[in-house]
Amino acid sequence: MDISTFLVQCLNAVQYGLLLFLVASGLTLIFGIMGVINLAHGSFYMIGAYLAFSIAPFFGDNFILMLLAGV
């Protein structure tokens, strides 16, 4: 394994770790404030992933347009 593959895998691990942190902190914040376990976060993440998967072919490889569409 060369160094570029290793660096890409390290960045993928950091990205996935930050995603898990966002999900966990959202659930913890809602549970801490309301005292009720609310699992609606999963449905919002699924809707966002489905929309991103659906509109990705229309933007091609243009990263800026995809970034703006995600926001």
Splitting the chain (71 residues) into consecutive groups of 10 residues, what average pLDDT does each group show?
A: 93 94 88 83 84 84 79 69
Q: What was the pLDDT predicted at 62?
A: 82
Copy the structure tokens of residue 59: 């933007």
User: From CA 9, how far away is CA 62, in angstroms rounded?
Assistant: 23
The Cβ-side half-sphere exposure at 15, using a 13 Å CA radius, reads: 6
DSSP alpha helix (H) spans, 1-71? 3-34, 41-59, 63-70
| Of the candidates 50, 52, 55, 23, the residue with the CA atom closest to the CA atom of residue 39 | 23
Whole-model pTM: value is: 0.61
Q: What was the pLDDT predicted at 13?
A: 97
One-letter amino acid at 56 equals: A
Q: What was the pLDDT predicted at 57?
A: 87
Q: What was the pLDDT predicted at 9?
A: 96
